[in-house]
Amino acid sequence: MSTTTACRLIGRSRATHYRKLNPRPPVERRPRPSPPSALNTAERAAVLDLLNRPEYVDLPPAQVWARELDAGTYWCSERTMYRILKAAGQSGERRRQATHPAKTVPQLLATAPCQVLTWDITKLRGPNKGQW
């Protein structure tokens, strides 16, 4: 049986058959060169300082970028600001948020009758451990 007939019977093209017989060797990828317009280390630090200024510390990079553009200063693209924040580990929520202490459930302990009065007596702790 010829290759053409066999390929037609299984529904595979001849080109695919021969490509699978002789695969190309894997191409070794070289690191991508940095574009000429990329920010250097000092410029990246300046943008990070800008994003951490007291007037901008609570704002997302999109608003910082727009406000600086309105003021006539172009630092970098909005996406680059997000990349710089991610590299610095600051890509989470930027607003100051209150942290509340964990709520504790009040524990009532009765060692004698009429010491603790409560409306709900479904699970009132008794004098011994495990007694309700």
CA atoms of 57 and 65, how far apart (whole Å)? 13
CA atoms of 2 and 14, how far apart (whole Å)? 11
pLDDT at 94 over 90: no
Tell me the mean pLDDT in the region 75-84: 93
Model pTM score: 0.53
Tell me the mean pLDDT in the region 20-30: 89
Counted residue by residue, the chain has a size of 132
Res 130: pLDDT: 80
CA atoms within 13 A on the CB side of 40: 2
What Å distances lie between residue 79 and 28, 76, 84, CA to CA?
Answer: 30, 8, 9
CA atoms of 77 and 94, how far apart (whole Å)? 19
Q: Locate the domains of the chain by residue range.
A: 41-87
Res 132: pLDDT: 73
Res 122: pLDDT: 67
DSSP 8-class letter at 109? B
Q: How confident is the model at residue 118 (pLDDT cuts 50, 70, 90)?
A: low
